[in-house]
A and B are shown apart, each in its own frame.
Chain A
Amino acid sequence: MKSYLRLMIFFLSGLIFLGGLTALGADNSDVDLEEAAGLADETQMSEATSTETTTSDPQNSWFNRGRTRTYLLIDGTQTSGSTNDQIHFPNGQLSFSGDFKILNESFLIVDAVVNYDDKDKEGSLFLNQVGFRSRLSDSAQYFIGKERNRRSPGLLISPSDFIYSNTNLPGQREDRKGVWLGRLSYQKINGSIDFLILPVQSETLEGLPDSKQNSNEGAIRGLYQFSGIDVSLMVGRYLGTNRAGTSVQTLLLNKYKMYVELGTQEEITRYNNTKKDYPVQSLAGFGYEASEDFSVRLEYFENGQGLNSDEFNQMMRLRSLSPSQFAGNTNLQSPFIRQKYLITSVTFPEIKKKYNFTISGIKSLEDDSLLSIARLEYLATDKLLAGLSFTKMQGGTGSQYQYRNFDTQATADLKYTF
């Protein structure tokens, strides 16, 4: 009887022990405490004593070469909506960019594209970047030419950066349009400061400086990183007005991206030639980047340069009375003509290691207008990428998209990089 009792206590205590471990969430890693083999036939420890010695000649290796990137893009676009459906095919772009070492510490850069547009049936050349860069010391560098150097956190728009302010909408062609400048930079790993001379305010269609310029412009631009927080500041005079911008960015727990951008300028001229002094543009952004399957961004953009409700309604009344007066106004083609917007983007990178998918939206908080863009990319080969983009503009009467150029636009493209 005693032995039965002892056996039962032993059995029960065993169960309790095992159950307790499971309940406490004990990991199963202790079962993996056997010797490991490593990679078969390659990591046998006896081989480690007769290892292969790898050497390379630093003078002739790829380390000292420059860099180039060339691609050919062909696309076709179908638009439908307020006008008759239109199909334009083929459109094309040939791009070449290079950064070449010409002397010990000196480099020559060039970035140019040749575009062919089926709509106009003609080709054109555009110079994105070109110039000469040289290092004066470990911390000092200068550049003369046309350059693009954008690092502000905003997804589509960056109020803090009045020099590289291009709006990059997803699904559109690559945009690397630089700015003509002379730059003297003092650079340390945790921060840098640029002194910029900005002599060119207008360009030819080819991206070269136009003949008439006001050369008394310039800016100071700085970035400082401390304790995981990036702070940037930019002040100067550009395109005829004094301007300033600042941004703060951090990644909480290495997962949550948070940033704020602010920018202002001395005055702006609106569609009806009225002026507004020191309008402030602000952008607050939040992103989640911890997952390897997707990333999300959400931004609130308050556009002090845009039209408030009264101004917007007045503009729309004038536009309905005299549409031709507004036909060529490029400012009104911007997605940010009003004052309050939500911008969002969700990206699914390398789905099944073959596809990228991004969906983005710009929603006005003052009317029902919505611009949404979806893009799917198929990583066909190492050199070939096939893409499909779909853009939809929505907005009823009285909204900013009432006079939109199209309802939907679908683009199919092939990009071959070599």
Chain B
Amino acid sequence: MTKIILALSLGASLIFTAHPAKAESATEIITKVEKNLSPPNFKSLYQFTNYRLDGTIAQYDVRFSVKDVNHSHGYFLKPEREKGRETLRLKDTIWTYMPSVARAVRVADRESFAGGDFSNADVMRVDWLAQYNASIAKETKNQFIIDLVAKNSEAAYAKMRIWIDKTTTQPVQQYFYDSKGTLLKICKYGSVKTFGNITRPAKLVMENVITKLKSEMQIIELQLENKIPDGRFVVDNLGKEI
């Protein structure tokens, strides 16, 4: 009898241990990535480097104040000739402030950010799940490869494909496609750092496949848990310190 009970217990334990753990869905994985890439209430200093075909570079330092994915504000510190320029994202709308004429102008979402290969959406709005449906294209030994397909034509890209490390849930690489399936840009992530209670890549390199141009975005400084006053996200306060 004891042998039978032992055999049943062993069998049962084998059955239970052999049952695989519940796999994470693409949406759950992307949610984790977004949480690190775009936490609420932070201030940061980003450095953008645009590499030109003639070998010269253009560098932009922008300080960001971010309330959430729908509310962010950028202030240009460098280059000096762009000093004082501002960008404000309010949900689906983007405003830019031109210090030369002290004027706020509403602009389209698709314009490149700071003349580089990152778009406004790439920099100021990492809320992919709001605009894209996520599905796992392939699961390799070390990475999830996830497709993000636009829910409608208002998304910046028709499709994105992102490679995510299984162990750390950090993005490794991202492809951006248009509606014809043409690969437009490739973003490579690196230099993973910890800022407060988040860990994320601090360096992103975006290569424009069409133009062969390349831009780099590096996080110089990032402060979490900053309560940013709502006044920072008011159009009439563009051009003003808060």
Chain A residues in contact with chain B, CB under 8 A? 25-30, 32-40, 42-43, 45, 47-49, 51-56, 58, 61-63, 66-67, 69, 97, 99-101, 107, 109, 111, 128-129, 133, 135, 138-139, 141, 148-151, 153, 168, 174-176, 178, 185, 187-190, 192, 194, 223, 225, 228, 230, 249, 251, 253-255, 257, 289-290, 292, 349-350, 352-354, 379, 381-385, 415, 417-418
Kindly state the separation between the CA atoms of A151 and B172 in the bound complex, as whole angstroms: 40
Contact of B233 among A53, A189, A253 (CB under 8 A): A189
Contact of A417 among B80, B90, B168 (CB under 8 A): B80
B109 touches A42 (CB 8 A): no
Which of B2-10, B13-21, B24-32, B51-59 touches A? Answer: B51-59
27 contacts between A and B (CB under 8 A): A36-B172, A37-B172, A38-B163, A39-B203, A42-B190, A45-B165, A51-B199, A54-B222, A62-B77, A67-B75, A69-B83, A151-B95, A168-B101, A174-B101, A187-B231, A187-B237, A188-B234, A189-B233, A223-B235, A230-B93, A254-B109, A255-B110, A352-B53, A353-B52, A353-B58, A353-B115, A385-B81
Kindly state the separation between the CA atoms of A4 and B71 in the bound complex, as whole angstroms: 66
Kindly state the separation between the CA atoms of A38 and B181 in the bound complex, as whole angstroms: 22
8 Å CB interface, B68-85 against A: 71, 75, 77-81, 83-84
**Minimum distance in angstroms from A42 CB to a CB of chain B:** 4
B194 touches A352 (CB 8 A): no
Contact of A69 among B84, B101, B111, B189 (CB under 8 A): B84
A151 touches B189 (CB 8 A): no
Kindly state the separation between the CA atoms of A100 and B242 in the bound complex, as whole angstroms: 10
Known A141-B231, A352-B52; further 13 A-B contacts with Cβ < 8 A:
A28-B181, A33-B137, A35-B140, A36-B173, A37-B172, A39-B189, A45-B172, A67-B241, A225-B93, A254-B92, A292-B111, A349-B115, A417-B81
Contact of A63 among B101, B142, B191, B223 (CB under 8 A): B223
A254 touches B110 (CB 8 A): yes
Q: How many Cβ-Cβ contacts under 8 Å join chain A to chain B?
A: 246
Whether B50 is near chain A, meaning CB under 8 Å from some CB there, is yes
B190 touches A56 (CB 8 A): no
Task: Give chain B residues whose Cβ lies under 8 Å from the Cβ of A255.
Answer: 108, 110
In the complex with contacts A150-B103, A290-B110, A353-B58, A52-B177 CB distance below 8 A:
no
Contact of B100 among A62, A135, A176 (CB under 8 A): A176
Kindly state the separation between the CA atoms of A150 and B109 in the bound complex, as whole angstroms: 21
**Minimum distance in angstroms from A320 CB to a CB of chain B:** 37
B167 touches A48 (CB 8 A): yes
In the complex with contacts A34-B140, A43-B190, A253-B154, A63-B241 CB distance below 8 A:
no
Task: Give chain A residues whose Cβ lies under 8 Å from the Cβ of B138.
Answer: 33
A188 touches B230 (CB 8 A): yes
Kindly state the separation between the CA atoms of A141 and B232 in the bound complex, as whole angstroms: 12
Task: Give chain A residues whose Cβ lies under 8 Å from the Cβ of B229.
Answer: 135, 138
Kindly state the separation between the CA atoms of A139 and B231 in the bound complex, as whole angstroms: 7
8 Å CB interface, B115-158 against A: 115, 137-138, 140-143, 145, 147, 153-154
Kindly supply a per-residue 1/0 record for chain B positions 196-233, scoring 1 wherever the CB is within 8 Å of any chain A CB and 0 otherwise. 10010111010000000100000101110010011101
Task: Give chain A residues whose Cβ lies under 8 Å from the Cβ of B80.
Answer: 382-383, 417-418
Kindly state the separation between the CA atoms of A37 and B192 in the bound complex, as whole angstroms: 14
Q: A185 — nearest CB in chain B belongs to which residue? A: B236
A350 touches B115 (CB 8 A): yes
Whether B11 is near chain A, meaning CB under 8 Å from some CB there, is no
Contact of A45 among B103, B168, B188 (CB under 8 A): B168
B230 touches A189 (CB 8 A): yes
